[in-house]
Amino acid sequence: DAKTTQPNSMESNEEEPVHLPCNHSTISGTDYIHWYRQLPSQGPEYVIHGLTSNVNNRMASLAIAEDRKSSTLILHRATLRDAAVYYCILSARGYGGSQGNLIFGKGTKLSVKP
Amino acid sequence: SAVISQKPSRDICQRGTSLTIQCQVDSQVTMMFWYRQQPGQSLTLIATANQGSEATYESGFVIDKFPISRPNLTFSTLTVSNMSPEDSSIYLCSVVAGGRTDTQYFGPGTRLTVL
């Protein structure tokens, strides 16, 4: 599985936008880019995913570089509830890999200050 | 979406004993996964448990240590056998569900402490 690189931690102020970067220079043409987040003491939850085009949903936006070697998860207005570990994951298919599994890296721990 | 429950939510066990963790889904799903999250670490996939077939284990995990059952499309169990303190972790199950094969749903996890 292709690897991703994320900063270990980031800080944000409440109600400000947050841009979480992810580098995936060895991404292949069939790899989807997934983002999950894990709130304290909970299981991970799906945030967003994309292949080539930028994507928006009610939780966040995903901006994908033209060469697909990097992407950015955008939280438009951070809230205290957004404090979590954010994982950027590559998978070979839309549902998370050649066998459906997700390979988690270390992720970025996002802190949100009031 | 899929709602997943796990039992027990936490347990403290003695070395050498075994614990079976249950995962219940509110809808029928084909693909189910078991993960381990050691203290302060990220998630590591243990195995894939598809109904009607033997579980597929990832490198470093074996069936004798982590036997898995998948008797139907809404339920699975993971047993942690002959436990040692190194098995102290959070164990999570997840599923691909809801007709959207791009989303994986996770249970709340089972926090296991082995003394």
Q: Which tens digits make up the pLDDT trace of A2-38?
A: 689 999 999 999 999 999 999 999 998 888 899 999 9
Touching A: B residues 70-89, CB under 8 Å: none
Report the DSSP beta bridge partners of residue A105: none
pLDDT score of B54: 87
The C-alpha atoms of residue B92 and residue B112 are separated, in whole angstroms, by 11
A8 touches chain B (CB under 8 A): no
**Residue A26 gets which letter from DSSP?**
T
Touching A: B residues 26-45, CB under 8 Å: 31, 33, 35, 42-45
Classify each residue of B40-79 as buried b or exposed e, where b means 16 or more C-beta atoms within 10 Å of its C-beta.
eebbebbbbbbbeeebebbeebeeebbbbebeebbebbbe
A26 touches chain B (CB under 8 A): no
Single-letter code of the amino acid located at A94: G
The C-alpha atoms of residue B90 and residue B53 are separated, in whole angstroms, by 25
Single-letter code of the amino acid located at A99: Q
Instruction: Give residue-wise pLDDT tens across range B64-104.
Output: 999 999 999 999 999 999 999 999 999 999 998 655 556 78
pLDDT score of B29: 87
- DSSP calls for B28-72: --SEEEEEEE-TT--EEEEEE--TTS--EEPTT--TTTS-EEEEE
Instruction: Give residue-wise pLDDT tens across range A39-78.
Output: 998 999 999 999 899 999 999 999 999 999 999 999 999 9
A100 touches chain B (CB under 8 A): yes
User: How far away is chain A from the Cα of B11, in angstroms, using its nearest Cα?
Assistant: 15
Vertex B32, ends B30 and B38: CA angle to 5°? 175
Instruction: Give residue-wise pLDDT tens across range B39-52.
Output: 989 999 999 998 87
**Inter-chain residue contact A43 with B109, CB threshold 8 Å:** yes
Give the strand pairing for B110-114 and B10-13: parallel
From residue A45, give the alpha-carbon distance in Å to each of A82, B5, B66: 12, 14, 25
**Inter-chain residue contact B96 with A104, CB threshold 8 Å:** no
B1 touches chain A (CB under 8 A): no
Measured between CA atoms, the residue of chain B closest to residue A96 is: B102
pLDDT score of B103: 78
User: How far away is chain B from the Cα of A30, in angstroms, using its nearest Cα?
Assistant: 14
